[in-house]
Structure 1
């Protein structure tokens, strides 16, 4: 079945099989958050991006394969409601950018821009994206046999960047980082997976960048 990235709350995960990595996308409530389970094809190691909510459903998705780590993309509560329970029941490491660590309910290892998170034989590059929160991050997988894959949390969505509460300084920081760290450095076929809703590609969104800048959100 072709992966579309379309998921509904309460529905089954959407599963994408890459040569080295399997991506499972699940919608959890009540705010229709996306949680992503990544599994290395070679080793079976698994990493969860955002233990957002509904710990029982996330634990069912994780299954018996164990969990190496949970990466939280940013400190907003809707992205970590299930974090404490998932970590307690799997023994996974909790990872978050240093600037958002104080916002989590448990102690977590600090990440910084340029770090890597291992998913077995695969690696995720940590990209610090300021603006939505001080320590928001995106995670980049450079598929050696295909297009790049990018998890953007709430920093980038189809149709615009994340919420900055109409703060012009925060918006300027966010649009600048999104433009220069993502759009300027990654090709149009980069597929990105946001914290809520549908996926997109950088190429599909790139023509709208001037409009996003002009409108200020």
Structure 2
């Protein structure tokens, strides 16, 4: 499996491209702010053809370039229905303080074709299989995507639900601290320790490492983490 990841935009959200190999179809996860050029560079470098854009949640730093990428390549975007409205009204999810950083508005448009995700969905795309876990808490429509490699390894694209050493903030509209802890307990912590976590911001980790070292999963830490938008 080919996994190409890179941070984009002012908030350095991670964007990922996944394909069975070079010179093949691929899936893009979280086409965020200023992601068009690096995505096109990665597509050219690895000779990939996108077939879909998967979105872990609706915050602008993860979806800003989705409409342009979808239009350019004629592919759909996938998002949970609870977050779909953010594709065309991103400021509604920022809160007054965050929205003020952008003059009170962020201009975006919904991709021409949007398909809605549901908990437990299995998406067969680009020769790969993705299982969808609805993990509300950071936003109402936050999801994680699970897939496996040919060698038998497991990957979790956790969006802003889980980071290396932290979890997603819950103080923006749609956030809920009890919900995110429930999502982590019921959907994330049961995964195998060797599962590689590829989060929406920051470095990769594993479920085993986070189970032991992440202060929020151990019951400590602040009530409102501030990483991620």
Q: What's the TM-score, normalizing by structure 1?
A: 0.83
For residue 43 of structure 1, report the CA deviation from its aligned partner.
8.1
Displacement of 1:145 after TM fit? 2.4
Partners in 1 of 2:172 and 2:124 — Cα distance? Answer: 36
Are positions 1:106 and 2:110 aligned together? yes
* Alignment-derived partner of residue 51 in structure 1: 31
Report the 3-state secondary structure (helix = DSSP H, G, I; strand = E; otherwise coil) of the residue aligned with 2:140.
coil
Structure 2 spans left out of the alignment, 5+ residues: 88-108, 225-229
Per-residue deviation, 1:81: 1.4
* Cα 1:137–1:65 shift into 2, 3 Å: same
Structure 1: unaligned runs, 5 residues or longer = 1-20
Distance 1:130 1:90, change over 3 A: same
Alignment: residue pair count: 194
Deviation per CA, 1:167-198, whole angstroms, max 9, x where unpaired?
Answer: 9x8111101111211112x1111100011111
User: Which residue in the other structure is 1:180 paired with?
Assistant: 186
Q: CA deviation at 1:144?
A: 5.1
Distance 2:199 2:84 in 1: 20
DSSP 3-state at the match of 2:218:
helix
CA contact (8 A) 1:43 1:121 kept: no
- Does residue 1:210 correspond to 2:222, yes or no? no
2:132 to 115, 126, 141: 126
Alignment of 1:134-213 (within 5 A): 134-143=140-149, 145-165=151-171, 170-184=176-190, 186-207=191-212, 208=214, 209-212=217-220
Distance in 1 between residues matched to 2:144 and 2:80, nearest whole Å: 10
Provide the alpha-carbon RMSD of the alignment: 2.0
The CA distance in 2 between the partners of 1:57 and 1:146, in whole Å, is 29
Provide closer, same or farther for how the CA distance between residues 125 and 53 of structure 1 changes in structure 2, counting only shifts above 3 A: same
Q: Is the 8 A contact 2:2 2:22 kept in 1?
A: no
Q: CA deviation at 1:65?
A: 2.9
Distance 1:97 1:27, change over 3 A: same
After alignment, is 42-51 or 76-85 more displaced? 42-51
Between the aligned partners of 1:78 and 1:122, the Cα distance in structure 2 is: 25
Cα shift at 1:93 = 1.1
Task: State TM-score, norm by structure 2.
Answer: 0.79
Query: How many angstroms apart in 2 are the aligned matches of 1:56 and 1:118?
Result: 26
Q: Is the 8 A contact 1:132 1:174 kept in 2?
A: yes
SS at match of 1:211: coil
Counterpart position of 1:91 = 74
- 1:27 Cα shift? 1.4
Match of 2:58 among 75, 89, 93: 75
